[in-house]
Amino acid sequence: MKKTVFVFLFSGLLSSCATVPLTGRSQLAFLSNQELQSLVNEEYTKALKTNEIVTNSDEGKQVSAVGKKMAVAVEKYLQEQGYGDLVKDLDWEFNLLKSEQVNAWCMPGGKVAFYTGILPITQNETGIAVVMGHEIAHAVASHANERMSTGLLVNFGFAAVSSAVGQNPTLTQEVFLQSVGIGSELKMLQFSRKHELEADRMGLIFMAMAGYDPREAPIFWERMAAASGQAPLEFLSTHPGPDRRAERLNARMPEALKYYEDSN
Ligand SMILES: [Zn+2]
């Protein structure tokens, strides 16, 4: 981590609130997306080296195609809603990695990875769109930034954050990995449940915007829940499932269906 990053980080504390698109929720976010980007580039490259990249396979091309289709729809919506600055910081990348892990994640700026282990549960293009919408929502809602901002404050305290972070690059990295759902130990479960609910809600709308039937989402999450009965799933350890997920999604369905109708 470069020292300049933390000068920015500290000055950023003064203007530390942002608004989440679509839900309108206020959030703590004192890192700028550019500041996060150096961490993202480092960790994304590392993640791609850890597993074989199979994006050129038929399944990989499908994952990538779904991602690109959704990115176009989401960016159009964000532009219309006055979030042009957010769109400028998005630089999408969609990869499929060979791994038995049932997982998928999206780093800030839109660096998405699916593991082949999740494909038996997504089953088809619409299933991929459910997970893709949820992951894209984490990036669009700047959840990693919010969790990292909160995590740094929890670990270092408000006043000490500037000097302490520079001396603890390992901990900074650890906080980052937890923030994007790669770390295995979740110390910020409470925040992540809030984020899961928000990502579910936004993901449902995003898939509908891209022309995927949102009514498939509760069905997909039921398949995910059933699979977790057979073995612990990485996805559910990094994305803890909100209670009554299907019920909550169905409550949002009329809104999602309006976007779905407009997309056709
Ligand atoms: Zn999630």
Number of domains in the chain: 1
Which residues, 6 or more positions from 224, have their beta carbon under 8 angstroms from its beta carbon?
121, 233, 235, 236, 241
CA of 134 to the centre of ligand 1 (A): 6
Does residue 201 belong to any structural domain of this protein?
A: yes
Distances (CA, A) of 253 to 155, 230, 241, 259: 39, 29, 18, 10
The torsion angle over the Cα atoms of residues 59, 240, 133 and 149, rounded to 10 degrees, is -120
Query: Can you give the pLDDT at residue 145?
Result: 83
Instruction: Determine the structural domain holding residue 55 and report its residue range.
Output: 34-146+169-263
Does residue 158 belong to any structural domain of this protein?
A: no
Arithmetic mean of pLDDT, 4-26: 65
Tell me if residue 135 is catalytic: yes
Catalytic position from the list 35, 75, 135, 198: 135
CA of 110 to the centre of ligand 1 (A): 14
Does residue 20 belong to any structural domain of this protein?
A: no
Does residue 229 sit in helix, strand or coil? coil
pLDDT-derived band at 122 (thresholds 50, 70, 90) equals very high
Does residue 116 belong to any structural domain of this protein?
A: yes
Q: Is the pLDDT of residue 28 over 90?
A: no
| pLDDT, tens only, 41-81 | 888 888 899 899 999 999 999 999 999 999 999 999 999 99
Does residue 25 belong to any structural domain of this protein?
A: no
Does residue 12 belong to any structural domain of this protein?
A: no
CA of 159 to the centre of ligand 1 (A): 30
Q: What's the distance, CA 20 to chain centroid?
A: 13
Does residue 164 belong to any structural domain of this protein?
A: no
CA of 135 to the centre of ligand 1 (A): 6
Arithmetic mean of pLDDT, 243-263: 93
Which residues are close to ligand 1, an ion, with C-beta < 5 A?
199, 239
Flag the least confident range among 76-80, 202-206, 234-238, 257-261. 234-238
Query: Can you give the pLDDT at residue 258?
Result: 97
What's the full length of the chain, in residues? 264
pLDDT-derived band at 171 (thresholds 50, 70, 90) equals low
Q: What's the distance, CA 172 to chain centroid?
A: 19
